[in-house]
Structure 1
Amino acid sequence: MPLPPARQFLLSLAASLAWPDDAVADERDDVRTVLFGSLDAGRSSFVSAGAKVAPGGIARDGVVTLATLGYGLRPERDWWGDPRAKAGLTPPRALRHTVQAGAVAGWQWVRDWGVAAVFAGPELAFEVLDSPGTRRLPAPRWGARVQGEVWARPTESTLLTTTVIAGTARWSAWGRVSWGVRLPDWSAAYLGPEAALYADRTGYRKWSLGLHATDFAIARLSVRVSAGWLYEEQIRRPGSYGTLTVWMPL
């Protein structure tokens, strides 16, 4: 279950890479807010939404802020709290519900080759396991979040992205790297492979490898979709995943 801010790598991309023509440079410079939402679907699912605000302009060097709110659902077995596990039996699968929010601020550098940004700030997480071993609702946990992102265009027709996010509210970390090529005669999107890893304090680990299509438009929305193979260490068998991210500059 990726961290919700997991998807903000496209926000600066929307501002710095989606307007390559000088004819619309003024329009790009006027953008200060980007709204976004995302859905990760598979054995575990996560949906999130938020906003990115850059007072000096999304496509310029300067201070940037990100605010996100997300909800996740993940099946797992309660080996520690379920009475059946204590009796030596295999407990049935239960659902872990997670609500996570964050508000981070940082600085971005916009260059001819792309964008780099770093962020830090507080995060809040609430999670509960829907299991007979859960006697009461746990208290929400506060923590700190750090985030680093790079979006680069090695050539006019290629895109390389790297995102790393870590937080102490759930002692979790998520990272993704992707590469894509744009074929103007065939598609407006960047198409290529991606790989990601997620881990948290519960011992949950998820690896994924897939293909993505990044930066194509539907009405006023810019869109990213991906799908592929994943492996969850607790379940110990491969599965599939799909993601959808949309964003809209205001």
Structure 2
Amino acid sequence: MTETAAKLRNKVAVITGGSSGIGLATAQLFAEQGARVAITGRNQAALDQAVAQIGHGALAVAGDVANVADLDRLFATVHQQLGAVDVLIVNAASYVLAPLADFTESMFDRVSNVNFKGTFFTVQKALPYLRDGASVVLTSSTVAEKGVPNHAAYAATKAATRSLARSFSAELLPRRIRVNVLTPGPVDTPVFESVTASKEEAEAAKAGMGQFAPVKRVATAREIAQASLYLATDDSSFMLGSELLIDGGIRTL
């Protein structure tokens, strides 16, 4: 790709949860498109490995999006090293599944603190560092609009994410900051291994989840990253407070 063709040339992009899965694929794509990329996550070793994969001088800042002090440090570091933020991808998430009867308070706090509180305060703490006209993308999930067993808390936090995009966009209109939601269906990421006991179980869960989609497969992380690129650029300049659904037809077919 030529430098002039890069859609994010010289833009600064911050991606939370950027060390694996959708976040890593998005960081790689954005870097290829000319962005100066910063990622954050809780595991320093995973961040180091991700930076090596992303290349292009990517910056990693270890931290927990559920900790507002870590968010302050993240954006201050990015601003100091890369400058003002043009694109913010709020992707960090906790995927905790259990039946309603067995869901504990600590499980609820874990999923809520990352997916709801973390999303809210990631955007709030970014505000002093976002350029006017910046693009903010919040990551939801198609389960936010469906009733799925064992997903009650997770789905509720993703529905909250969809709501936040509307309210944030309305409030940030004077700064022309667009806040949109990217809503994927099932995606081929390490999350399957985190909720199963073995690689074989993870592959079986992935295959089973793919059967929910009319296309009969899960998405690749790169496919979701391509959608995120659209929301991050001026290609989507007439979208704000809106949702881009990329779920293989699950919600509508």
What TM-score, normalized to structure 2? 0.30
Question: Between Structure 1 and Structure 2, which shows a larger proportion of strand residues?
Answer: 1
Name which one, 1 or 2, has greater alpha-carbon Rg: 1
